[in-house]
Structure 1
Amino acid sequence: MATQKVSRSITVNAPAERIFAILTNPRRHAEIDGSAMVSGCLHGPETLTAGSEFRMDMSMLGVPYRMTNRVVEYEKNRRIAWRHIGPHRWRWQLEPVDDHTTRVTETFDYSPAGPFAILYQLAGYPARNARAIEQTLLRLKALAEAE
């Protein structure tokens, strides 16, 4: 069985705390989104923590919609993951290399979808997610290094 996760990593010349502050602010998600699907934060706290819910304005193929997400994994300055009504998760892991450098890994984990995961594969989502993650990481890197 194929791994039902898509992950990419990048090294960012910024401390984990600065990167985590960007990731946990849902109002900044549109700035880093490499999929061109996130339009902005409609509702949510200033800073995400365990169990936080936030609603995003989204668009796919020019069709607007809204998505509510909930933080399901949280370790301050190290890991955050959220999911919407579907079972898959978007996870961010931060590994400090030193005080000023962090290895950031973003993962789209669709393994909780069980037998329905084959639908993601058939629809080509793993490849699309990989391209979006690569662009997101580049945008996050530029933003974190500029602050």
Structure 2
Amino acid sequence: MNRENVSATLTVAVPAARVFAVLADPTAHSAIDGTGWVQKAVDPAPLTEAGQVFRMGMYHPNHPNGNYQVANKIQVIDPPRAVSWLTGEEKDDGHLEFGGWFWRYDLVPLGPSETEVTLTYDWSAVPQSIREYIQFPPFGPEHLSNSLHHLAELVSSR
């Protein structure tokens, strides 16, 4: 881990296209999440293009409401090699605000039936005003590794 991002890598015995298909399915994200915070896809449509927004129902005991929603905006979608999204929130007036952190999955085919998957959480663009009340990363280092192992189990069973 460096000061601005953290990542983990795992090789899975599944073709990259199959791994990507699971990552592009928001309904699978709660099963992949290593923290238990992601509860369900509010927008279940598959991820298909940069700029697309998908919302997720979340739960965190330290959040003022416990249950809350995040709005994620696709930054990169390059099947079957990469997908990334910014995480933020939708204000009451419908305006989307993003905090400066993003999630990214990079997939490298290692042959017809094996893929190296790297998950990165990057908070390098988070402004100081947010860093004053959220510690980054807001989870332990095992979170990314747990997520990759959950992804491996999920793609192997499909």
- Measured after TM superposition, the shift of residue 51 of structure 1 is 1.6
Between 1:81-90 and 1:126-135, the stretch displaced more is 126-135
RMSD: 2.1
The alpha-carbon deviation at position 76 of structure 1 amounts to 1.2
- Given candidates 99, 105, 111, the residue that maps to 1:98 is 111
Residue equivalent to 1:131: 142
> CA separation in 1, counterparts of 2:131 and 2:67?
26
- Give the structure-1-normalised TM-score: 0.88
Superposed counterparts of 1:67-146, under 5 Å: 67-84=70-87, 85-113=98-126, 115=128, 119=132, 123=135, 125-126=136-137, 128-146=139-157
Q: CA deviation at 1:44?
A: 4.5
Q: 1:129 to 1:111 in 2, by over 3 A?
A: farther
Extract unaligned runs of 5+ from structure 1: none
Q: Which has the higher helix share?
A: 1
Distance 1:108 1:116, change over 3 A: farther
1:75–1:129 Cα change, 3 Å: farther
CA distance in 2, matches of 1:118, 1:58: 20
Runs of 4+ in 1 over 3 A off after TM superposition: 114-120
- Secondary structure of 1:111's partner? coil
Q: Percent identity?
A: 29
**Whole-angstrom CA distance in 2 between matches of 1:110 and 1:18:** 28
Aligned residues: 144
Q: Distance in 1 between matches of 2:55 and 2:131?
A: 27
Q: Does the Cα contact within 8 Å between 1:92 and 1:105 map onto a contact in 2?
A: yes
Residue 25 of structure 1 aligns with an amino acid whose one-letter code is D
TM-score by length of 2: 0.82
Secondary structure, aligned partner of 1:46: coil
Does the 8 Å contact 1:6/1:129 carry over to 2? Answer: no
The Cα shift of 1:28 comes to 0.9
